[in-house]
Amino acid sequence: MRYEYRESTSGGQFLMTINEQDFTRYFFQEQDKKFNALIWNRGKSQRISVDEQRFEVPENTFIALNVSHSFRLERSEDAVIWQFNREFYCIITHDAEVSCSGLLFYGWRETNAIFLDEKFTRSFSILVEVFRDEFDTRDNIQGEMLRVLLKRLIIKLTRLIKEQSPIGQLDNPDLDTIRQFNLLVEMNYKKIHQVQDYANLMFKSPKTLSNLFSKFNDKSPLQIIANRIFLESKRLMLYTDLSAGEVGYELGFSEPAHFSRFFKKMAGQTPSEFKKESMNLR
């Protein structure tokens, strides 16, 4: 079943999909539909393909994906999927309300599962039913009511991810720095590739950032930047007809050879080898 709310004035869209088979989301085929997604796998453990990379989603867990992800579930009928665009609720603009930017959707590890215990399972099940009722209620405050429920959902998940990860061991200023770095990378990775430049934007030293990330993460700031560039390069190679040189230019590399060296270092194969292998697997 698919529920949908649209705002004609702002272009805001909010969707909730429940127990629907064959659900897919392909960003490069639907670039006009820039949805963040929250996915609750209510059934047994299953696989999800995110940008053609497969992950295991454990039983009774949430994952959060941002607007540029393509994904499909092995058993979408076992899932509840919320999707919303920036026009309906901008997580960056409203970060002071939910404290999730750079953590939940642009977080420290992609597709990090959020586990639910019995108490939270009941709580989220009730919330799903409240969402159903509100989607069915057509009046002049429906949009605001749905935004309130979405905020509640995001806040509850943000609290859980903090509790369940090493991030929970950090002081709030440290956590804010991590979230700010992740968000800056997400907004600037196509043109800024060096840790020093991000450190300057944050009025920090590169050493300060490296020491902070070493407290909770096995990836350095430079690795996080490189991984984000690499992820986008794979998306562009998989879902567009751009050449390797054009992909490199799109991602801020001045010379095709520089991009090819970067890609081979990250993937263990050249861009053309990656694209050929991917086409054979699809």
In this prediction, residues 93-112 reach a mean pLDDT of 65
The tokens of 180 are what? Answer: 């700010």
Task: Give pLDDT tens digits for 231-259.
Answer: 889 888 888 889 999 999 999 999 999 99
Distance, C-alpha 108 to centroid of its chain: 10
The tokens of 193 are what? Answer: 């590739």
**DSSP label of 193:** -
Question: Distance (Å, rounded) from C-alpha 159 to C-alpha 4?
Answer: 27
**Average pLDDT of the residues of the chain:** 86
pLDDT at 267 over 80: yes
What are the φ/ψ torsions at residue 13 (nearest 5 degrees)?
-135, 140
The tokens of 58 are what? Answer: 């454990």
Task: Give pLDDT tens digits for 159-208.
Answer: 888 788 766 565 678 877 888 898 899 889 999 999 999 999 999 999 99
The residue assigned the tokens 């956590």 is 175
pLDDT (0 to 100) of residue 32: 59
**What amino acid is encoded at 255 in this protein?**
E
C-beta of residue 146 within 8 angstroms of C-beta of residue 135: yes
- pTM of the entire predicted model: 0.79
Q: Is 200 helix (H, G, I), strand (E, B) or coil?
A: helix
